Amino acid sequence: MLDRFIRNFLNGQQIIHKIRHVQTVRLTFLHKCIKNECPAVLSWDTRMASTSSSRPSQSSKLLNDYRNNRIANLQLADLGNDVLEFARDPLGSRFIQQKLEGANPTETAHLMDALRGHVLTLALHINGCHVIRKALESVDRMSQIEIGNELSAQVLSLSRHKFGSLVIRCVLDHCTEHQKRPMLEQLLGNVLTLVMDQYGNFVIQHVIEHGLPEDRERIVRSLHENVLTLVMDQYGNFVIQHLIVHGLHEDRESIVRSLHENITSLSLHECGCRVIERLLEHCTEHQKRPMLEQLLGNVLTLVTDKYGSLVIRHVIEHGLPEDRERIVRSLHENVLTLVMDQYGCYVIEHLIVHGLPEDRERIVRSLHENITSMSVHKYGSLVIRCVLDNCTEHQKRPVLEQLLGNVLSLATDTYGSHVIRHVIEHGLPEDRESIVRSLHANVSTLVTDKFGSYVIEHVIVHGLPEDRERIVRSLQGNIIMNNGHLNSFCNVIHKCFIFGTMEQRNALIDEFCADNGSGSPPLLEMMKHPFGNKVVQKMMDVADSARRQKILLAIKTAPLKNTAKRSSESLTTVKVQQQRGGTEIG
């Protein structure tokens, strides 16, 4: 019974810390609002009023009853004059859509009567547009014509609207050629306006993919003189990509001719690089060879650019072996520089992953003299891990020898620790054993280091039982007494309790419950800190009955002091004393 109370108190201590923090933040925020430092908050009522004015002033009783599950077996025919109210409501809209799937002609006719004159308004509404789309799928041809007639006067504005564009695409999908031809004529007469619009571009893409060949041909003619501009447009580039993927051979040929003098500059452009990648994927070898020659002649410029590096990686992965070989030769003398470049490092990784064995051999030889310095570099460390993942044992052995000779300096480094952890998890048993031996004499230092502690945790999780045994034996005496407040140390202890054997857990619990010479066990000091508190809770979870009683006894016999302002950290001890029914000691 008592240990349940203690567990609740340990949890309660963390909650009180959080509540106090939230209260402090809230008070600071309110003070700023009073001083008009947060005017946006003060204008909330104004904004809410303006927003609510666009909503229906009052929901229908039928809709309210439906939303609150007060109506059973509601049908489309029951909606009556509430159809529009339902169509604009999230739940009501879904109800209409579901019922339309199995509706009979009489029900759909009643629905169309209610929608008549409101189709355009609903097509622009977040919920209403889905009702119109479902109606287009479900109603008869005459009803589709009625819907189309109401929309026809606003085809362009609908196509450029977030929800209206969805309705236009649905018309193109479900109406007959005769029904949708007037709409298509409006779209085809305004291609350039639509392709550079946030939503209009999707409508044109839809026609390219699903329309008649003659409609696609008209779009291609409209775009022909503006391909270069569209490729660099944030929306137009998607239409050009779509045309490359779904167009004809001659469409791609026309695009390549329009861009052939600007391949390198487009590869450096945020939008243009995507179009270049699509051309490399879908063009014939004859069509893309002039493009590749420009790219291969400017490799060093492209690989260190955010977007250019993506294009070169694409060539490495999907290009011919001889193209990849030319890239390797171009980069050979600059590998060390590129490995530490923000974008160049990913190109080198791509060569390691997708290149031939001789490509990897050449790259690794270029790195031999700088393994340690690259391992502690933000981008270089990524390449080292890629080498360890993808090279043969013979190729990476010189790399491993340098790593194993510098374990301690790497283990305490931001990026080097990732490399050592990678070897621990994925390396050979003998390499892991070498690392553990290097770490063993320094466990007491590493568990208190932000990055070294991650390495020790990795040994606990991925090492052998004897590796964990060595670590647990090292966690004794002063190291436990002095570090219960450190997040790094507490995380190591937490991992020991999760992955250790029962004997190892018991040994740690005995250390935490032992008198540290001051009459107080380290356990009590740990309970005062958020990280240590979490460890004590885990300790209670994994302890056997004898050790749990030992923990409870250590807490129950703790000396308490009465102070005018008791800190929140002592809350757990106070609660235990109160649970015992005792009085606080002055």
pLDDT at position 480, please? 78
**Short-list 306, 257, 299, CA closest to 279:** 257
**Short-list 293, 291, 361, 300, CA closest to 330:** 300
Q: Which of 134, 166, 188 is the last residue of a domain?
A: 188
Q: Which of 153, 188, 223 is the last residue of a domain?
A: 188
Burial label, 66 (beta-carbon count in 10 A; 0-12, 13-18, 19+): buried
Residue 518 lies in a domain: yes
Contacts 24+ apart (CB under 8 A), 288-291: 288/256, 290/256, 290/260, 290/263, 291/256, 291/260, 291/263
C-alpha distances (whole Å) from 8 to each of 3, 4, 267, 533, 554 are: 9, 6, 60, 12, 17
| Helix axis angle, 321-331 to 285-296, nearest 10° | 10
Q: Where are the alpha helices (DSSP H) in 199-343?
A: 200-210, 213-224, 227-231, 236-246, 249-259, 263-267, 272-282, 285-296, 299-303, 308-318, 321-331, 335-339
pLDDT at position 529, please? 86
- Burial 12-46, CB ≥16 within 10 A → b, else e: ebeeeeeeeeeeeeeeeeeeeeeeeeeeeeeeeee
Q: Which of 129, 162, 188 is the last residue of a domain?
A: 188
CA distance 108 to 251: 43
C-alpha distances (whole Å) from 173 to each of 145, 213, 304, 327, 446 are: 14, 15, 44, 46, 64
Residue 144 lies in a domain: yes
pLDDT at position 364, please? 93
**Short-list 217, 209, 228, CA closest to 251:** 217
How many Å from the N-terminal Cα to the C-terminal Cα in the chain? 28
Residue 531's domain spans which residues?
Answer: 475-560+568-578
Sequence-ordered list of residues with C-beta below 8 angstroms from that of 50, at least 6 positions apart, any chain: none
pLDDT digits (tens, 9 = 90+) for 343-377: 999 999 999 999 899 989 999 999 998 999 999 99
Residue 493 lies in a domain: yes
Residue 243 lies in a domain: no
How many distinct structural domains can be found in the chain? 2
- Burial 219-237, CB ≥16 within 10 A → b, else e: bbebbeebbbebbbbebbb
Burial label, 214 (beta-carbon count in 10 A; 0-12, 13-18, 19+): exposed
Residue 163 lies in a domain: yes
| Helix axis angle, 502-513 to 545-556, nearest 10° | 10
Low-confidence ranges of the chain (pLDDT < 70): 1-59, 516-519, 558-586
pLDDT at position 43, please? 37
Are the CB atoms for 82 and 62 separated by under 8 Å? yes
pLDDT at position 11, please? 58
Residue 170 lies in a domain: yes
- Burial 71-110, CB ≥16 within 10 A → b, else e: eeeeebeebeebbbbbbbbeebbebbbebbeebeeebbeb
Residue 230 lies in a domain: no
Give the global pTM: 0.78
pLDDT at position 13, please? 53
Are the CB atoms for 326 and 289 separated by under 8 Å? no
Are the CB atoms for 497 and 490 separated by under 8 Å? no
Residue 340 lies in a domain: no
